[in-house]
Structure 1
Amino acid sequence: MIPHRDDPVPGADAGRRAAGGAGVSADIAEDIAAAVEAGAEMLQEVCDRALEELGGTVPPTQLRALLIVDRHHRLNLGALAHEMRASNSATSRLCDRLQASGLIVRESAARDRREVVISLSDAGRRLVDWARGRRRRELARIVDGMSPAGREALLDGLAAFRAALDGST
């Protein structure tokens, strides 16, 4: 069940307590982490709900792999396995299923014929575009219910979160 936007989020006031400092106390950092985790869980629920039409036809792991392939346009099996945080053999079996479903294409790399490069097929591209469109429409519906100040704060917070994430990798 998706929490209502007026439901309290654990640690939601932590951002106000931490404003103005580069470092935060361990307690405040823990409160903020709890709020981010709760938000991430709600966001995942919204995204999952948006894709319910897929049912069991494309399991979440397969869709995740397709989204990763799309983000990189083309990548080899090892890179996909790394992104999926899975073994090469498990990723290879996953790719077997995706290829059998007509969602990816595997080709030999131009510079090293032993390397296999994975890309989306036309059907895979349509599925990824459909899934992203569904998720974005659902998210836009929710964001539309926010105040202008809330939307601005969300954008600022997400930009800062992304910058911190980019700096930590």
Structure 2
Amino acid sequence: MTSSTPRPRPPEVARVTSQAAELLEVLWGRASTAPVSPSQLRVLFILEHNEGINLRTLADALGSTPPSTSRLCDRLQAVGFVERRAAASRRELQLHLSRRGESFLVGLRSRRETALQSVLEQMPAAQRSALLRGLEGFCATAAAQIHDDDTFDARTA
């Protein structure tokens, strides 16, 4: 027996996913990111996954300029979230997330998960299960695409 429910097309799913992302931003906005701005938070996330990158690589990842990125890092270093260390060549600095920066991200994620749990607890179990399966598939596909794009970029650089 076939289902009479039509399968959602990628544009429809993209629209709803975009709406969900916007709602998450509002929900997560209630979990303060102080003392960092959204741009600085992006730096912390990038450093968490790319430990020891240099300023130029970070600027490229942000789609920004090295001077602007340096100022972002100056502010993050001032609050103790980022450390600059000499690289092997000593002409270049590596950027690292400090222990305080790592602790900040752990706390932020905890606050965000708490906010999400209050919404998820109100959903029926079957919808939560479907959401989990869908998000696991989305994350795996997105991570693979990002990895493939990074591999392509590295080969063509």
Q: Give the TM interval when normalised to the shorter protein.
A: 0.7 to 0.9
75-84 vs 133-142, greater mean Cα deviation: 75-84
Q: Which residue of 2 aligns with 1:17?
A: 6
Structure 1 residue 118: Cα displacement: 0.9
TM-score normalised per structure 2: 0.79
Q: Which residue of 1 aligns with 2:43?
A: 65
| 3-state secondary structure, aligned to 2:64 | coil
| 3-state secondary structure, aligned to 2:48 | helix
Structure 1 portions without partners, runs of 5+: 1-15, 20-27
Q: Find the partner of 1:143 among 120, 134, 152.
A: 120
Kindly provide the CA deviation profile for residues 133-154 of structure 1, in whole angstroms up to 9, marking residues without a partner as x: 1111111222222222111111
| 3-state secondary structure, aligned to 1:81 | helix
Kindly provide the CA deviation profile for residues 89-124 of structure 1, in whole angstroms up to 9, marking residues without a partner as x: 211111111112222110011x32122111122322
Q: Find the partner of 1:96 among 74, 80, 92.
A: 74
The 2-side partners of 1:74 and 1:149 are apart by 43
Q: Find the partner of 1:33 among 14, 21, 34.
A: 14
The 2-side partners of 1:62 and 1:32 are apart by 30
Deviation beyond 6 Å, 4+ runs, structure 1:
none
| 3-state secondary structure, aligned to 1:142 | helix
Q: Find the partner of 1:48 among 20, 29, 47.
A: 29
TM-score normalised per structure 1: 0.74
117-126 vs 152-161, greater mean Cα deviation: 117-126
Tell me which amino acid in the other structure corresponds to 2:82: I
121-130 vs 143-152, greater mean Cα deviation: 121-130
Structure 1 residue 167: Cα displacement: 4.0
Structure 1 residue 163: Cα displacement: 2.9
Q: Which residue of 2 aligns with 1:122?
A: 99
